[in-house]
Amino acid sequence: MDAITFQEPPIVGTETEQLLGILDRTRSVLAWKCGGLDAAGLRTTLGPSAVTLGGLLKHMARVEADSFLWKLSGSRPTPPWDTVEWAWEWGSAADDTPEELLTLWQAAVERSRASVAEALTHGDLNQPVHIGNDGEHANRRRLVLDMIDEYARHNGHADLIRESIDGLVGEDPPGRDEG
What backbone torsions phi and psi does residue 18 show, to the nearest 5 degrees? -70, -45
For residue range 10-55, list pLDDT tens digits in order: 899 999 999 999 999 999 999 999 999 999 999 999 999 999 999 9
Long-range contacts for 170-177 (Cβ within 8 Å, ≥24 apart)?
A: 171/29, 172/6, 172/29, 173/4, 173/6, 173/28, 173/32, 176/6, 176/8, 177/6, 177/8
- What topology does CATH give the domain 15-166? Four Helix Bundle (Hemerythrin (Met), subunit A) (1.20.120)
The model's pLDDT over 34-44, given as tens digits with 9 standing for 90+, comes to 999 999 999 99
At residue 179 the predicted structure's pLDDT band, cuts being 50, 70 and 90, is: very low
pLDDT greater than 60 at residue 67:
yes
Break the chain into its structural domains and give their ranges.
15-166
pLDDT in tens, 88-127: 999 999 999 999 999 999 999 999 999 999 999 999 999 9
Who contacts 47 (Cβ-Cβ below 8 Å, separation ≥6)? Answer: none
Q: Mean pLDDT, to the nearest integer, of 83-90?
A: 91
Q: Are 34 and 102 in contact (CB under 8 A)?
A: yes
- Looking at residue 77, the DSSP 8-state letter turns out to be P
